[in-house]
Amino acid sequence: MKKSNAIVTAYVDMVVPFYDLDPMRIVWHGNYVKYIEDARCALLDRIGYNYNAMEESGYMWPIVDMRLKYVASAVFGSNIRIHASLVEFETRIKIDYKIECLDSQKVLTKGYTIQVALDLKEQELQFESPTVLTDKVRAYVK
């Protein structure tokens, strides 16, 4: 089993709603992006640096890269867990994701997102993470 590089983790559980299905009666692929966003928000809340706090600190963190690998399909009524794991934070935010079916214990989707800091005043991407983020992460892991 692969060793986790997770610095901070969080997860959310949900039951797959009918309105997230496509004509093949499985979760439409685009809805997985919504699911990982929920887990990412839970992770950012955990370190005390959610999207409101980011904006208040003078930075936003747009996603510049995202990858999802669909391993199996989620279906209506499935109990799923969406894991988010912060694995990088000093020059960018990289979060790994895993979506699993709690009923079958199968991994459904894996992926990651990469976000970089954008100085709101100057509208410039930053080459390293602002100390407001690094301080929050280091304080959380102590």
Model confidence pLDDT, tens digit, residues 83-106: 999 999 999 999 999 999 999 999
- Tell me, what DSSP letter sits at residue 8? E
CA-to-CA dists, residue 1 to 4, 31, 112, angstroms: 9, 28, 19
Closest CA to 84 of 111, 102, 116: 111
| pLDDT score recorded for residue 122 | 96
Predicted model pTM: 0.94
- Tell me, what DSSP letter sits at residue 4? P
pLDDT band at 1 (very low <50, low <70, confident <90, very high): very low
Q: Are 40 and 66 in contact (CB under 8 A)?
A: no
In tens, the pLDDT along 70-81 reads 999 999 999 999
Q: Are strands 93-101 and 107-115 parallel, antiparallel or unpaired?
A: antiparallel
Q: Which domains, from first to last, does the chain contain?
A: 8-141 (3.10.129.10)
In tens, the pLDDT along 48-59 reads 999 999 999 999
